[in-house]
Amino acid sequence: MGCRPPGLLFLTSLLHISYTIDTVRLTIEPRNAVQTGTAVRLRCQVSVSHSNIPNLIHSFQLTRDDVPIYTNNTTEDTVEYKINPARAADSGNYECRVSVKNKAKASNSQKLDVKGLQTPTLHLTTSSPYENEEFKATCSAPEEKGPLIFQFYQSFRTGSPEVIKQLSQGGNSSTATLRLSHIGNCILYCDYEIRLVSGNQKSNSSKKVELIVKALHITPIINILPSNNLSEGDIIEVVCRVVNPPSNTEVFLTKDKVILKQVRAAALSHKFTVREDDSGELVCKAEWGSVQKETSQRITVRSLFSKPQLTVEPTDIVEGDPFNLTCSVSILDSSKINNETLQYSIFKDNTEVANTATYVTVAQLSASGNYTCNATSDSLTRTIVKESQKQFVKVKVPVSEPVLSVVGGTLFLGKPFQLSCYSQRGTLPINYTLNQPNKPNDIKVVSKRGEKAIFNLTSITQISDIKNILCHAKNSQLKLPTTGTGEQLLKSSNIIEPVSKPHLTTEPRMEDISEGYNMTLVCSVQRGSFPINFTWYSQEKGFLDSKTSRKLKESHSISNVKGDHAGGYFCECTNPAAEPKQSAPIIIGVKMAGWKKGLIAVFCLLFVMAIILFLFYKKRLPKLKKRRTGTLSVKAASTKVERMSLTQAEVNEAANVCSFHCVAESDDNCSTNTLEKPENQYKEDQLRQADPSRGERLFLNFNKLSFDFLKLSLKYYICSMSVPVKQGTDTVHSEVRNSQQGTTNILLFTQTPFLLHSQEKSGH
């Protein structure tokens, strides 16, 4: 219980340390304001009260204008900082700051003012420089602490001094490079400035130094011989000279910034042959140290003859063609040289091919290259050679006959397609022109090796149009184009022509199709690429058959035709062009079998006999009537006659029905009608299932007479008999309407074929 941990003991002893900084005092000795060079001491004294702490360390820090300049950690309570000698740069506000453990205190601020600046000294490397000669001037104040800003002044006897240089090299002296151009006496001196927080201070000026600037006579003299006016090929001598130069003088001869000659001497001489482009300034220049003097003179050089010109004819050269190269000079100074003495050479790729003015050759492919020519004027005094501009000659490979082909290989007539035209040989670029009849020409310029000209063509519908396509290839202005024709396409390409509209016919002829016989449906097209797929359809039953064939015509047979084969038929054709086409439908009627007709003929015979019987009785009847009284007339008959007074519409309709039957059965005249009114097509079955309003119908064809029976009611039939009357080429078969020409008998029968009444109708 009475035991304490040792850490707590230590903490207790720490708590007993106590101290306080009472004062910090800064003093400057001997005074705050001193003359430059004085030894100055700064003393800082601290007073600390503490609880008897041994070896208490005081950290002193001395600052000038808040910049630390001195620190000392000591147990002493006073430190001293000496400035000896004090200079203007030491001026400023000083402060002393003392820290003890973690407490600090600053002194009051003390201002030190150091008066006076050292007078600078000026030193020159020469006292008599040449005009513009460079020399050095050093201005220094070795006792001062830097950095100092120095100024160099020049003054003449009259006029105010002027600053010729101002610089600060960071220390207490500076060296300037000076160059004086004013010849004669002048004075140089310098001073400096020091920058302090309290403001700038300027020193007194240095001692004035007098110096003499000497003139430098090195301006050269230029001399051109024989003269400044020259002809090309003339030799001239240029002399540059400097009179009495100082040693180490250099002399140059330059032209257009090119040094022609250079000597380290008083004079130079340069001899050379002028060319026609040598006209211009010749410059002589003398250089001594950094001093330069120059003189120039202009020379003009006349041309004796112009540059030769190399002409190539023709400009467009095709392999195998002759071509001419001609070298000529257009302007000539005939007073100096003779036209005839000019010699020409022609070069191909720098190798001479002719030493004449013209070179005629046949263009091989190897003749391509860069040609130049030289014209040479050779005389005793001079030789002038002039070279022409380069002429590039390209010998073209003639274009071979172009090959046409269909892009993709297959051409569907009537659809747009792309045609390529390509010449295997021929220098590029090649112009391909596509020529189609009645269409504007299409031009494609091909400049890449192996590239084909591709043309878009729209809808060619006939093979004959393909043959007339032309493709012209041309790579030279002078040569005729080579031509490829569309004929090639017929061989090289797969041309697919869509099928034309098919036509469906029957065998035997449609009117001759009868029960029990065979019928063949023949489908044919006019045009179309093989193979052609023929498909037959019945309008009632749909698909019948399909055949693929390499013929324009295919047939589908139906054996043993029955009544129910009657109806509409059509066929459809297609081929790889995939544009199926359908024929117009045909309507097929099927004639009754012969035995059925025979049976009807027997009936008919009976009717005819009945007619004859009737006619016979008709003759006798009036006599009988006379013998009998009027009441004896057959009442039933008279009522039936009244019944026969049908409304005109009924008659017409009956007649129509009748006549239609006639038409349907009339082999010679009714075929078109048959097609037009297929819904009324005769069918035996329909004979008995006819619309009751129209009555049941029965038809007879006996010799040249046609009989048509229409059952009007249970008891009565209406019947028409037509007698074909030739009227031109027409046969009158619409009896009721055309009764002026024919005669229509409307016969009235009882259900049993017994004649009741006959009314002869004329007109309507």
Ligand X SMILES: *[C@@H]1O[C@H](CO)[C@@H](O)[C@H](O)[C@H]1NC(C)=O
Which residues contribute to the site for ligand X (CB under 6 A)?
59, 71-74, 76, 78-79, 116-117, 142-145, 171-172, 203-204, 313-314, 324, 329, 332, 339, 347, 349, 358, 360, 369-370, 374, 385-387, 390, 392, 431, 443, 445, 456, 474-477, 517-518, 533, 535, 546, 548, 559
Q: Toward ligand X, which CB reaches closer, 246 or 585?
A: 585
| Structural tokens at position 210 | 């007098």
| Distances 39 to 28, 71, 84, 90, 244 between C-alpha atoms, Å | 11, 20, 4, 11, 61
Q: Taking the complex as a whole, how short is the minimal distance between the CB of residue 462 and ligand X, in angstroms? A: 22
Q: Taking the complex as a whole, how short is the minimal distance between the CB of residue 103 and ligand X, in angstroms? A: 12
Q: Collect all residues with Cβ–Cβ distance below 8 Å to 625 and sequence separation of at least 6.
A: 632, 633
Q: How far is CA 636 from the centre of its chain?
A: 102
Q: Write out the DSSP string of 705-754.
A: EEEEEEE-SSS-EEEEEE---EETTEE---TTTTTTTS-EEEEEE-SSS-
Q: Toward ligand X, which CB reaches closer, 120 or 220?
A: 120
Instruction: Categorise residue 512: left if φ over 0, alpha if ψ from -120 to 50, beta otherwise.
Output: alpha
Q: Toward ligand X, which CB reaches closer, 392 or 704?
A: 392
Q: Taking the complex as a whole, how short is the minimal distance between the CB of residue 47 and ligand X, in angstroms? A: 15
Q: Taking the complex as a whole, how short is the minimal distance between the CB of residue 370 and ligand X, in angstroms? A: 4
Q: Toward ligand X, which CB reaches closer, 117 or 291?
A: 117
Q: Taking a C-beta distance cutoff of 8 angstroms, is the pair 202, 163 a contact?
A: no
Q: Toward ligand X, which CB reaches closer, 79 or 238?
A: 79
Q: Toward ligand X, which CB reaches closer, 546 or 671?
A: 546
Name beta bridge partners: 281. Answer: 298
Q: Given the structure tokens 């400049």, which residue do they identify?
A: 447
Q: Toward ligand X, which CB reaches closer, 262 or 431?
A: 431
Q: Toward ligand X, which CB reaches closer, 276 or 708?
A: 276
Q: Toward ligand X, which CB reaches closer, 269 or 533?
A: 533
Q: Taking the complex as a whole, how short is the minimal distance between the CB of residue 101 and ligand X, in angstroms? A: 9
Q: Collect all residues with Cβ–Cβ distance below 8 Å to 182 and sequence separation of at least 6.
A: 131, 156, 213
Q: Taking the complex as a whole, how short is the minimal distance between the CB of residue 155 and ligand X, in angstroms? A: 19
Q: Collect all residues with Cβ–Cβ distance below 8 Å to 116 and sequence separation of at least 6.
A: 35, 36, 37, 88
Q: Taking the complex as a whole, how short is the minimal distance between the CB of residue 251 and ligand X, in angstroms? A: 32
Q: Taking a C-beta distance cutoff of 8 angstroms, is the pair 24, 98 a contact?
A: yes
Q: Taking the complex as a whole, how short is the minimal distance between the CB of residue 258 and ligand X, in angstroms? A: 19
Q: Residue 688, SS3?
A: helix
- Closest-CA residue to 298 (of 274, 278, 281): 281
H or E element, residue 82: strand 78-83
Q: Taking the complex as a whole, how short is the minimal distance between the CB of residue 738 and ligand X, in angstroms? A: 39
Q: How far apart are CA 660 and CA 171, in angstroms?
A: 141
Q: Toward ligand X, which CB reaches closer, 39 or 385?
A: 385
Q: Write out the DSSP string of 163-196.
A: EEEEE--SSSEEEEEEE--S-EEEEEEEEEEEEE
Q: Taking the complex as a whole, how short is the minimal distance between the CB of residue 261 and ligand X, in angstroms? A: 23
Q: Taking a C-beta distance cutoff of 8 angstroms, is the pair 391, 371 a contact?
A: yes
